[in-house]
Chains A and B, each alone.
Chain A
Amino acid sequence: MTSQITSAILGAALAGAILFLVRRDHLHGPYAVWWFGVAAATFVLGVFPGVVVWLGHVSGIGYAPILPIIIGLSLVLIRLLKLDIDRSKQERQIRRLTQKLAILEQELDRCSGRPPGDARSDDPDADAT
């Protein structure tokens, strides 16, 4: 088995797995686009390893096989950064939703008169606001 066949099998398998996950809705919208791009790149580089040599020649890198590793690592770092940005955004949303839920629950209880000792009802000035 030549190295080209091995890389083609690996590239096609990875691309196929990603496509399968995208088709099964395991990856949401923008993530699916990103991973679809990764699948396409993996497939092309696996089936046509000569592209790597050509890219190395064009970019002036003497040892061409290092090029996909550098690009891959850079993309992984970018992806991790984006992941943390998204997590921070979600954390903010979760915190605000939690607060809003508590406020609305309190208002619901107040309207239905469930909890005892409602301090707000003792304060007529505050009700006026």
Chain B
Amino acid sequence: MDSFGRALIAVSQADAVPTKTCCCSAATRLRAAWPHRASFAAACRRARIDQPGSDPQNRDPLDAAASVASTTIPLRSADCLAVIPARDEAATVAAVVAGVRAALGCAVLVVDDASTDATVAVARRAGANVLTLPLGLGAWGATQAGIRYAQRNGFAGVITLDADGQHLPDSLPKLFKAQAKDGANVVIGTCVQRLSRAKRIAWQYLRMLTGLGLGDFTSGLRLYDGRAVEILAGPTASLLDYQDVGVLMLLAKNGLAIAETPVPMLPRREGHSRVFASWPVVARYMLHTTVLCVAQLDAGRRHTRAAGGAA
């Protein structure tokens, strides 16, 4: 195992990042969830759907949709497929694959997004199945290929993570725990304090625009249940470019419950974010996302719930 792999395991075992530094309080999260659409009290009323014994007669349609979504079955990691989109990640993908197999004991699929290095060979040697895309489809196109593979092969759910090693394998079970605890269809692993100032500003803008009260819109660490897989494998999701706002809005529009849970993450070892590569790229991304959000302004059906672990 190389030095990066050792460092990755050491940090994940130490779990050095305290949970409370990774997330905000429940109240703060609720305020963030409903910044422009409803008062904090209204947000609290909506949040009551999570509490046992609440009167179903008094629920509004929004709550009813969330209630349906909340009847999810807890996922077992062994029944799921780990999807790792990778482009030119030969230096890190082996450690990531080995870490996921050790932590979850599930099948691992690396989706090679037209790499020019030895990513495919390295991933296969590490024990992963590999899909090789003949054309580069970008991060989301590669991820969706993995999701379609999971649907075709009858996996119960999909967990996605980046191939650059920033997501710690030992933190992956936290997503399954959060999914089982909160009955969410989608769980996003986030590390809010790791966000740069530019990202914080961008995310605040997107929170305001979309009404999705999430801490990180582009985290690649996500757990999708069968219902989310079914939606994301469809043609509607095929014209999205990133695993970000568009994906989340599509899921929210379909009444799925989205939760976040704090996880420790490592800094990116090599390369850079595909979204935050340079200022022109950021400007283009924000413009595209704004148009996408404006085109999807049916906020009444959107809802998110904070994971218990995040509160």
Contacts and interface: CB of A to CB of B under 8 A. Distances in A.
A19 B78 CA distance: 62
Contacts of B130: 106, 115
Contact of A122 (B125, B127, B148): B127
Interface string A97-129: 011111101100010000111111011011001
A103 B156 contact: no
Interface residues of B, number: 35
Interface residues of A, number: 26
A128 to B, nearest CB: 9
Contact of A126 (B132, B137, B155, B235): B155
B126 A117 contact: yes
A57 interface: no
B257 interface: no
A82 interface: no
Contacts of A117: 124-128
B133 interface: yes
A96 B78 contact: no
The B contact surface, by secondary structure, is: mixed
A43 B239 CA distance: 41
B134 A101 contact: yes
Interface stretch (A1-9, A21-29, A59-67, A87-95): A87-95
B126 A99 contact: no
B154 A99 contact: no
B148 A118 contact: no
Contact of A95 (B79, B131, B141, B154): B141
Contact of B125 (A98, A105, A116): A116
Interface of B: 78-79, 81, 101, 106-109, 111, 124-135, 137, 141, 144-145, 148-149, 152-156, 235, 238-239
Given A98-B134, A99-B137, A110-B129, 4 more contacts: A98-B141, A99-B133, A99-B144, A126-B79
10 contacts: A92-B239, A95-B137, A95-B141, A98-B137, A102-B132, A106-B149, A110-B129, A116-B124, A122-B127, A129-B156
